[in-house]
């Protein structure tokens, strides 16, 4: 309740900012993208995890405003980065269900000057709970803009493979729950990751392994031909002002 109330003032009071976590090419070790994640520093309670306040924002109709802010902010910051480093922005199912989303994306790109192909929207499987036709229309509108679409947290939702057939994802992000314990002998997650990678290849999609923390996990992901690596082994999410310094060095 308090979180819900205080969240209403958080944006105007400048209590929310974005942090960025690198996505690294598994072959070249180059930083290819940065995922933007929201951070809220409450004036009395201190840092509040998005795992806590994002669901509150979704339930209290605040995610639209917060998500639009994050989209604009991420595009504006990414437009300053050198090379072709992409920015990934998390889009919640409520935002995806709003027919206004393509307009907001177009505006964020125009205002920042960021090229559409450098913006990647991370969507979760929950978007498929929305109306089927509206979902197809939204995919078409976003692809027409030229942004990239990634399927986040793959494997944790209800994981019907049917929608992968039609949905125009450019990338599948393998959820970190498949990484935990993956290097232990006989771990069945290896078979699942293998299957996801070959599925993605067949559908001409890229893959990212999330939550890579250890070198043996990294080696295994390379062996399994996962395309990109994200996790504490490279970096935790860092403040926007530190991004330029962190870029180029894969470590």
Binding site residues, ligand G, CB under 6 A: 21, 37-38, 49-51, 54, 67, 70, 90, 92, 152-153, 176, 210-213, 231-232, 237
Binding characters for Mn ion, 153-182, by CB under 5 A (x = yes): x-----------------------------
Question: Shortest Cβ distance from residue 230 to ligand G (Å)?
Answer: 6
Of 18-26, 52-60, 83-91, 139-147: span binding Na ion (CB under 5 A): 83-91
116 and 80 Cβ atoms separated by less than 8 Å: no
Choosing among ligand G, Mn ion, Na ion, none, which partner's interface includes residue 51 (Cβ < 5 to 8 Å by kind)? Answer: ligand G
* Structure tokens given for 55: 């669901």
Q: Could you say whether residue 230 binds Na ion (CB under 5 A)?
A: no
Report, in Å, the least distance between residue 211 CB and ligand G. 4
Out of 68, 77, 125, 152, the residue judged to bind Mn ion by CB under 5 A: 152
> What does the alpha-carbon distance between residue 220 and residue 185 come to, in Å, rounded to a whole number?
12
Q: Within 10 A of 125 (CB to CB), how many other CB atoms are there? A: 20
From ligand G, Mn ion, Na ion, none, which one binds at residue 245 (CB under 5 to 8 Å depending on kind)?
none
| Nearest distance from C-beta of residue 95 to Na ion, angstroms | 13
CA distances to 34, 43, 60, 108, 240 from 65, in Å: 22, 20, 11, 13, 20
Strand-strand pairing, 148-154 and 16-25: unpaired
Structure tokens at 150: 């990634």
With contacts defined by CB under 5 A, name the span among 24-32, 58-66, 133-141, 205-213 that binds Mn ion: 205-213
Using DSSP's 3-state secondary structure scheme, residue 83 falls into: coil
Q: What SS3 class is residue 223?
A: helix
User: By CB under 5 A, what part of segment 109-168 binds Na ion?
Assistant: 122, 152
**What DSSP string runs through 149-218?**
EEEEEETSS---SHHHHHS--SEEEE-GGGTTTTTSTT-THHHHHHHHHHHHHHTT-EEEE----SHHHH
Q: Could you tell me the smallest distance in angstroms from the CB atom of residue 241 to Na ion? A: 21
Give the nearest distance from C-beta 43 to Na ion in angstroms: 27
Compute the least distance from the CB of residue 210 to ligand G, in Å.
5
Q: How far apart are CA 222 and CA 212, in angstroms?
A: 11
Binding site partner of 240, from Na ion, Mn ion, ligand G, none, Cβ cut-off 5-8 A by kind: none
Where along the sequence are the contacts to Na ion (CB under 5 A)?
90, 122, 152
Could you list the residues that contact Mn ion (CB under 5 A)?
152-153, 210
């Amino acid at each position: 309740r308090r979180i819900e109330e205080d969240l209403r003032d958080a944006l105007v009071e400048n209590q929310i900012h974005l942090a960025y976590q690198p996505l690294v090419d598994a072959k070249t070790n180059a930083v290819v993208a940065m995922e933007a994640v929201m951070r809220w520093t409450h004036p009395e309670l201190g840092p509040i995890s998005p795992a806590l306040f994002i669901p509150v924002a979704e339930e209290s109709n605040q995610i639209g405003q917060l998500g639009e802010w994050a989209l604009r902010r991420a595009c504006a910051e990414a437009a300053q980065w050198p090379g072709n480093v992409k920015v990934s922005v998390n889009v919640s199912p409520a935002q995806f269900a709003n027919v206004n989303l393509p307009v907001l994306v177009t505006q964020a790109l125009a205002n920042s000057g960021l090229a559409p192909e450098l913006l990647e929207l991370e969507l979760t499987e929950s978007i498929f709970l929305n109306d089927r036709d509206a979902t197809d229309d939204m995919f078409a509108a976003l692809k027409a803009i030229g942004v990239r679409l990634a399927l986040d947290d793959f494997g944790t939702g209800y994981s019907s493979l049917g929608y992968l057939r039609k949905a125009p994802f450019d990338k599948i992000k393998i959820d970190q729950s498949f990484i935990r314990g993956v290097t232990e002998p006989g771990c069945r997650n290896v078979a699942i990751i293998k299957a996801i990678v070959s599925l993605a290849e067949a559908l001409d999609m890229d893959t990212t392994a999330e939550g890579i923390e250890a070198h043996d996990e990294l080696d295994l992901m390379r062996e399994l031909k996962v395309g990109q690596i994200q996790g504490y082994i490279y970096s935790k999410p860092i403040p926007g002002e530190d991004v330029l310094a962190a870029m180029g060095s894969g470590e």
